[in-house]
DNA sequence: TTGTGTTTTATTGCCTCC
DNA sequence: GGAGGCAATAAAACACAA
């Protein structure tokens, strides 16, 4: 026995005699719902479960089906009076399964409230012809089962979410690889174009830098748009050599509405304002790091990218890779 | 019938709350 | 300190295949 806790081994003679006095055979066939509803308010007079003898009545009504068969037969052999009844309930080490109706009754009660107040426990015990302790144990075990079920459900939900995220991640990684190869191809082609077109493209570069802002989130960046960004990579040489007037406010700019107005954090359209994106700050940081040449955005020096991983959200572009980027196409 | 896995009932020990 | 809840566990009852 647990420290200081005393459990009875089964129904006591006194409680059983009370139950047997209330014995009412045919009531066992009443619909459970009505039995249950009448139980709480008037349980002592309308008890649907009237001790162990009423279990025999249940079996009679049901024709002795299923799970109670062995109990019924066992009890049938011992049904020789109250002495045998007490003997049955006091068998040490013997476990007695509850009847189907008792379990259904308890289940309904559990559905209403899975905690068991003392008064309710007494009422249920009376109604079911069980020891209050048995009712308490049943509720305890039932709560444990319920908790396990909940854990299983939670696990399934988490696993589904994980699988979904994993699929997203994989598709983004593929997209990332695709875009990277595209950037490589375009950056190889662009130096030739540059030589042909001369310095006139600088004004285009400036256009890009002045475009009103939309947030360059992963969602808003179409493949085409990213390709455009990639296509201007060759302008980096001009910028790094001081030719660019990219911060000229009068300069025309790239007008696709995606890669612009990202220069001034103080501006209302500053692209890295947290409220303007569905992405988390980390994701936005990753995007800004991956898409924007660091030298274009001196204000961004305030942002700590030191631990930013290269992942599908920043398109896998290390910051160093951006050294050749510029904003024209 | 028997072996084995699962479910259900009950115990134990520990913990928290009043 | 007692009552009650919970986790872990034991063990009886049950289901079912071989």
* Interatomic CA–C1' length for residue A168 and nucleotide C15, angstroms: 44
Gyration radius (Cα) of chain A, Å: 39
pLDDT of res. A198: 52
pLDDT of res. A193: 64
Span A217-230, pLDDT tens digits: 434 444 434 344 34
* Interatomic CA–C1' length for residue A64 and nucleotide C7, angstroms: 36
Across chain A, how many H-helices and E-strands are there? 12, 0
Highest mean pLDDT among A202-211, A243-252, A263-272, A307-316: A202-211
Footprint of strand C on the protein (CB under 7 A): A 2, 4-5, 66-71, 93-97, 115-116, 118, 136, 140, 143-144, 147
Rounded Cα distance between A287 and A184, Å, is 19
Measured CA distances, A84 to A53, A88, A91, A272 (Å): 12, 6, 10, 82
CATH of A100-186, one of 1.10.10.10, 3.30.413.10, 1.10.10.60, 1.10.3720.10: 1.10.10.60
Span A182-204, pLDDT tens digits: 999 999 887 666 656 654 444 44
Span A74-95, pLDDT tens digits: 333 333 333 444 444 445 557 7
Nucleotide nearest to A94 (CA to C1'): C12
pTM greater than the 0.75 cutoff:
no
In this structure, is the CB of residue A100 within 7 Å of any atom belonging to strand B? no
- Alpha helix segments (H runs only) across A79-131: 82-89, 100-112, 118-128
Which two structure tokens, joined as six digits, stand for A253?
């700019």
Whether residue A47 is predicted with pLDDT greater than 90 in this model: the reply is no
Nucleotides of B under 7 A from a protein CB: 8-15
**For residues A247-257, average pLDDT:** 32
In this structure, is the CB of residue A139 within 7 Å of any atom belonging to strand B? no
**For residues A40-54, average pLDDT:** 36
CA-wise closest residue to A110 among A80, A135, A81, A79 = A135
Rounded Cα distance between A222 and A228, Å, is 10
**For residues A293-314, average pLDDT:** 33
Instruction: Give the residue extent of every domain in chain A.
Output: 100-186
Whether residue A126 is predicted with pLDDT greater than 50 in this model: the reply is yes
Nucleotide nearest to A69 (CA to C1'): C14
């Amino acid at each position: 026995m647990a420290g200081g806790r005393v459990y009875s081994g089964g129904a006591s003679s006194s409680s059983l005699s009370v139950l047997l006095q209330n014995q009412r055979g045919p009531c066992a066939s009443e619909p459970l719902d009505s039995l249950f509803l009448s139980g709480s308010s008037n349980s002592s007079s309308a008890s649907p479960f009237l001790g162990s003898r009423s279990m025999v009545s249940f079996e009679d009504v049901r024709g002795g089906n299923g799970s109670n068969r062995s109990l019924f037969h066992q009890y049938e052999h011992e049904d020789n009076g109250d002495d045998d009844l007490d003997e049955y309930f006091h068998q040490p080490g013997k476990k007695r399964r509850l009847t189907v109706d008792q379990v259904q009754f308890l289940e309904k009660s559990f559905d209403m409230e899975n905690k068991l107040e003392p008064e309710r426990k007494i009422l249920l015990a009376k109604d079911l012809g069980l020891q209050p302790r048995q009712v308490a144990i049943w509720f305890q075990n039932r709560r444990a089962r319920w908790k396990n079920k909940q854990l299983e459900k939670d696990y399934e939900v988490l696993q589904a979410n994980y699988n979904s995220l994993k699929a997203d991640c994989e598709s983004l990684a593929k997209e990332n690889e695709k875009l990277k190869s595209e950037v490589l191809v375009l950056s190889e082609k662009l130096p030739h174009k540059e030589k042909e077109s001369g310095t006139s493209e600088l004004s285009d570069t400036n256009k890009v830098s002045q475009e009103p802002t939309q947030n360059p989130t992963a969602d808003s960046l179409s493949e085409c748009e990213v390709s455009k960004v990639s296509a201007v990579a060759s302008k980096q040489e001009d910028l790094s050599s001081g030719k660019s007037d990219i911060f000229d406010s009068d300069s025309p700019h790239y007008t696709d509405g995606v890669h612009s107005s990202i220069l001034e954090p103080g501006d209302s359209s500053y692209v890295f304002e947290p409220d303007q994106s569905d992405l988390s700050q980390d994701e936005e940081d990753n995007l800004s790091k991956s898409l924007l040449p660091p030298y274009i955005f001196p204000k961004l020096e305030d942002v700590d990218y030191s631990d930013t991983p290269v992942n599908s959200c920043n398109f896998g572009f290390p910051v160093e890779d951006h050294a050749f980027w510029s904003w024209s196409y």
